[in-house]
Amino acid sequence: MIPRNPRFPGPPPAHGDFSPADFRRMGEAAVDRLARYLETLESRPVLARTKPGDILAQLPPRAPEEPEPWESIERDLDGLVEPNLTHWQSPGYLAYFATTSSAPAAVGEFLAAGYNQIGILWRTSPVLTELEQGVVRWLLDLVGLPWGPDGFDGQLADTASTASLIALAAAREQAYPDVRKTGLAGRPAGAVYCSELAHSSIDKACVVLGFGTEGLRKIPSDGDFRMDASALAAAIAADRAAGRVPVAVVATAGTTAVTSVDPLPAIADLCAREGVWLHVDAAYAGSAAVIPEMRPLFSGWERADSVLFNPHKWMFVPNDCTGLFFRRMERVRRAFSVVPNYLETPEGQTVREYMDYGVQLGRRFRALKMWMTLRAFGVAGVRARIADAISQARWLRAELEKEPDVVLAAPSPFSVVAFRWQPRTMDGAAADAANARILARINEDGRTFVSHALVKGRYALRAAIGNVRTERRHLEGFLAAFRAAVAAES
Ligand SMILES: Cc1ncc(COP(=O)(O)O)c(C=O)c1O
């Protein structure tokens, strides 16, 4: 008989779950594993070295009929899972938006899974509902937006994409009263406006809401990548003249490619004049408003009908967690509330029923990790970490400016630096191809992982700083990898 490893549980009982004692062993092993993982992060290439299909090919086609020993599951965490992770938790992670979880947030997520609260109604988890209400208030306060009947209230949605869909559904209900009953058939076509740099989630929301991609007006941006407010005004006027219904303007504060901020005051003026819903997508950059000196960049968002930002992008909680805030929340309720008899309760409207404010019924205990993280770091701690990322990005930008043939592709108001290697003698298309090769070499080097964006039609590299563990030495590693990749071009 193989001796039992006291770290791991034995076989499960024929009925019911593993015992609490076994759960303790599994959980302790998991915490050990993650601690070891964090300790060894820097020795792992940031971007997974996996070939497409590699993992799937190793999976048996059917789940095991009989229980497997926990040790063999652990062995596959070692051999199959960890070697095929792309290490978002690594300090060398500089791709897309550098999104990290943190210790308190990971613990909060784990506890939420163990408590298994499902917020279909206030009574199915009073603490889920009311912590969410409280955390919404905290987040609003953190970024300097007013809370309350004359300000905002809101929810924690999963992703920015879903949050924009919810906001635009509420805007649609406002533009077409009773559209939830009648649908859009036979009504004048609607239009939504965003800049050409807005995120693709807005296209998707327009598809889902029946405006179609043709109902989404992509307004040109100016030389600083900001929506051209006069072109927006002209587009709204042209649509009105053609009998279209302007439904909403989506302004972006922190565009995906270059983190530019649309001219929010001018757009807010226009929306107020036109009676059009203003939605502000501040998915990544919104967290920066925790720093009072950064708030002027967001000036005007307090006049929006809806605002979102993603703590899961830059406030140290794991995906998913999106703060979605509304003025006059009852407008969202009007768009979504459907209460079948089995969900009626004696509490009625005396409590917040989050099922009334979006698509989903069952809701995760998303607030727990956010609440624990804000308490464990404190607002000052969150502010210091975000300020550190911004100052590291400034340092990196200044270093890149000194590199031969490096052109900065856009301003860096937050913690993303977009740049390109462009020798004077090389034409644009050849430099595009060279930059793509440089990107591949940097990622092959393994110390860091960066991504790219098209900026004014040209290929640019993007270094996004925001990982809670990134230090100056990691950016020095990135610069070394970049220089080596450039050297390989000559
Ligand atoms: C401006 C903006 N909006 C929305 C999104 C989508 O975020 P999510 O993955 O939370 O849906 C992104 C992602 O990068 C983004 O940059």
Q: What is the pLDDT of residues 234-285, one digit of tens each?
A: 999 999 999 999 999 999 999 999 999 999 999 999 999 999 999 999 999 9
How far does the chain reach from its first CA to its final CA, in angstroms? 63
Task: Report which ligand 1 atom has the smallest distance to the Cα of 312.
Answer: 10
Atom 16 (ligand 1): residue with closest C-alpha?
256
Pocket test residue of 88, 158, 161 for ligand 1, highest count of atoms within 8 A of CB: 161
Residue with tokens 């992703």: 159
Query: Is residue 10 predicted with pLDDT exceeding 90?
Result: no
What residues are paired with 322 via a beta bridge?
157
Average pLDDT of the chain to the nearest whole number: 96
Coil/strand/helix, residue 91: coil
- List C-alpha distances in Å: 136 to 16, 41, 371: 37, 33, 10
CA 103 to ligand 1 center in whole angstroms: 23
Count of beta carbons in the 10 Å neighbourhood of residue 106: 20
Q: Which of 2-16, 135-149, 329-343 has the lowest average pLDDT?
A: 2-16
pLDDT value, residue 209: 97
118 touches 363 (CB < 8 A): yes
Strands 322-327 and 152-157, by their bridges, are: antiparallel
For 307, half-sphere exposure in the C-beta direction (CA atoms, 13 angstrom radius) is 31
The backbone torsions φ and ψ at residue 286, rounded to the nearest 5 degrees and listed phi first, read -50, -35
Distance from C-alpha of 288 to C-alpha of 283, rounded to nearest angstrom: 11
Give residue 3's pLDDT band: very low, low, confident or very high (50, 70, 90): low
For 325, half-sphere exposure in the C-beta direction (CA atoms, 13 angstrom radius) is 33
pLDDT value, residue 490: 81
Q: What is the pLDDT of residues 434-462, one digit of tens each?
A: 999 999 999 999 999 999 999 999 999 99
Distance from C-alpha of 472 to C-alpha of 121, rounded to nearest angstrom: 47
Q: What 8-state DSSP symbol labels residue 18? A: P
CA 281 to ligand 1 center in whole angstroms: 8
Task: Report which ligand 1 atom has the smallest distance to the Cα of 158.
Answer: 10
Pocket test residue of 165, 287, 310 for ligand 1, highest count of atoms within 8 A of CB: 310
The backbone torsions φ and ψ at residue 40, rounded to the nearest 5 degrees and listed phi first, read -105, 5
Query: Is residue 326 predicted with pLDDT exceeding 60?
Result: yes
43 touches 109 (CB < 8 A): no
Pocket test residue of 158, 199, 287, 415 for ligand 1, highest count of atoms within 8 A of CB: 199
Coil/strand/helix, residue 72: helix
